[in-house]
Amino acid sequence: MTTPALEVAAVSRRFGGLLAVDGVTFSIAQGGLSALIGPNGAGKTTLFNAITNLFPPTSGEVRFMGRSLTGLDARRIAGLGLIRTFQTARVFPGMTVLENALAGAHMHVGATALAQMFRLPGARAEERALRDKAGALLDLIGLSAFRDAAATDLPMGAQKNLEVVRALMANPRMLLLDEPAAGLNDSETADLAALLTAIRDIGVTIMVVEHNMSLVMGIADQVIVLDAGKLVAIGAPADIQADRRVIEAYVGLED
């Protein structure tokens, strides 16, 4: 049996008196596409923050590819190949769309700062290759017409797409996407779904927080349901849809 991509073991995160994530345990197989769902305030973003040590777990442990993440900072976690996006898009203001995408490749730039400054041939070739790759990805997600626009001039949905491209430029082994479809219309959401399955098919493990049930049920091979910080259910989409506890958690919130 291969090691799971991500193992979350009894993870809790407390904010003062509030237990935002409460003893959550699950694991995600390599190459899987898992969806994390739950009503507003369920603790989904907090769980992402705990996994990436932005707000480290108050107890419990997270392992990525068999390696404990305890005590690692955001940069080291990214270095292991675990890349996240944020619920409110955090594109870099003051940079163009293309530059934002390129910024994602930071870990894989081999040329030193000095080589870049002196425009050494190796550095220039590397820069060209990165630009080509970023251009192709922007094209894939329908942003290539805006590559030289200011990233913050894009509408929210497009900024979230850009964040996914930026994350992909980092050559991740696993992606944590926090509501990537927020702000997208139906056809854009369908494009995103196609992109996510394609990313999965090239071997990148994905965990995605999503409110859009049809998107979740269409692409995920595993669904994790969180409510009030607790894991309520975990299983295949079809089973989850039939689960009474899940329906209860969502009563009045989702159709």
Partner 1 sequence: MTGFFQIVIGGLLQGGVFAAVALGFSLVYRVTGVVNLSQGAFCVLGAMAMYYFQVAFGWPTPIAAAASVVSVVAFGLIVGATTFVPAVAKLPVSSTLVLTAGLLTFFEGVALIVWGNQPYALPPFSGEAPVSFGALRVPSQGLWLAGGIAAMILALWFLVYRTALGRALQACAENAMAARLMGIDTPRMMLLSFGLAAAIGASSGLLVAPITSLQFDSGGFFTTSGFIAVAIGGMGSFAGSIVGGLLLGVAEQLAAYYVSSLFANTLALLLLLAMLLWRPNGMFSSGPVRRVDVRSDAVVHRALIRLPDGRLVALGLGLLVVLGVLPVLPLPNGVLSSLTISMILFIAVLGLDVLMGWAGQVSLGQAGFMAIGGYTAAILATNYDWSPLAGVAAGMALSIACALALSLVTGQLRGHYLALATLTFGLLVDSLTVGLINVTGGPSGLVGIPSFSLGSFDFDTSARMYWLALGVAAVAVFILEGGMRSQFGRALQAVRTDQLAAAALGVNVGRVKLAALCISSALASLSGSLYAFNFHFLSPEMVATPRSFEMIAMLVLGGEGTLVGGLFGALVLTMLPTLVQGLALYKTAAEGALLVATFLYLPEGLFGRFAMLLSRVGRRAAPVKGAPAP
Residues that bind ligand ATP (CB under 6 A): 15, 18, 20, 38, 40-46, 87
- Using CA atoms, how far apart are residues 198 and 143, in angstroms rounded to an integer? 18
Nearer to partner 1, 152 or 197 (CB): 152
Strand ranges (E), the chain? 6-15, 18-28, 33-37, 59-64, 67-68, 82-84, 174-178, 205-209, 222-227, 230-235
Q: Which of 45, 52, 161, 189 binds Mg ion (CB under 5 A)?
A: 45
Q: State the minimum distance, in angstroms, from the CB of residue 246 to partner 1.
A: 28
Q: Which of 208, 169, 235, 173 is nearest to 5 (CA)?
A: 173
Residue showing the smallest CB distance to Mg ion in the complex = 45
- Which residue, 20 or 206, has its beta carbon nearer to ligand ATP? 20
Interaction partner, residue 250 (ligand ATP, partner 1, Mg ion, none; CB < 5-8 Å by kind): none
The site partner of 142 among ligand ATP, partner 1, Mg ion, none (C-beta below 5 to 8 Å per kind) is partner 1
188 and 158 in contact (C-beta within 8 Å)? no
Are the CB atoms for 205 and 173 separated by under 8 Å?
yes
Choosing from 3, 53, 87, 197, the residue that interacts with Mg ion (CB under 5 A) is 87
Looking at beta carbons only, is 87 or 116 nearer to Mg ion? 87
Query: CA-CA distance, 155 to 186, in Å (whole number)?
Result: 15
In the three-class reduction of DSSP (H, G, I as helix; E, B as strand; rest coil), residue 83 is classed as strand
DSSP string, 59-73: EEEEEETTEE-TT--
- Contact call for residue 182 and Mg ion (CB under 5 A): no
Using CB under 8 A, list all residues that contact partner 1: 49, 52, 54-55, 73-75, 78-79, 83-84, 86, 90, 92-96, 99, 102-107, 109, 111, 113, 116-119, 123, 127, 130, 142-143, 145-146, 148-150, 152-155, 158, 166-167, 170, 185, 188
In whole angstroms, what is the distance from residue 246 CA to residue 217 CA?
14
146 binds, among partner 1, ligand ATP, Mg ion, none (CB under 5 to 8 A by kind): partner 1
- Give contact residues for Mg ion (rule: CB under 5 A): 44-45, 87
